[in-house]
Structure 1
């Protein structure tokens, strides 16, 4: 029962934050609420085209605090607020996630077939083009069970010569 209440609270928090953060040019990517002793931890992940800067996170933190202070959504229980960028460990689930990761290496687990790793070449509202072993393959979003960006520590700029 408390999971349902927690899910409803998370959904309400996200609904309250979506428009104010959109006014800052930010998308709400995740809202997580977890118990931590006698208080709770509220984590809000944000993103935008071009990536999130520290100034964006600071602006978002002030705006989230203001919205929550003006609302009763968090109730009387004390909470710790953490506002972060989306990070590379979150799955690519929406067209904007793919668009923001063009040129990045991704590992895709298709609904059917073997897991593949390739570079995102382009995306649109219907699907994504991924270069795998020199050939571009099209995936409709419904064909992707899971996709994660792969961290590349020595990634070369695409404009550089080999």
Structure 2
């Protein structure tokens, strides 16, 4: 073993090798990926759907994509939840027994405190059928429950937009 002081000045210690898996593929990346906790928390997404199954599925999809979610089984208390949690995006089912989602959206648009909201109208109908409704009530987007896998990307897009 040689004395470290006897090394020539041009010899530099080698940095440790990147860890590799059994196939020799690097297992680390540079720069390291950001952990979800290092990203600034975004305001929660409010999900309103009278169907427990749909509400839970939408909430699960959004949470797995990194969003905070506040879920309500009816529009009752929606304004209070939006204000309390500072929600900026609302995903609302169109066909609910107490008030239709498109009518709720119209009420949001008339309320000065809620004018900042981005609203996605959701229904079991096809998006083609929902497009006319979207134009009539100025929804930011529509989504068929048949295409829920598109929801996280749609919410991300709306979260990056100023209304």
Q: TM-score range by the shorter chain?
A: under 0.3
TM-score, length-scaled by structure 1 = 0.21
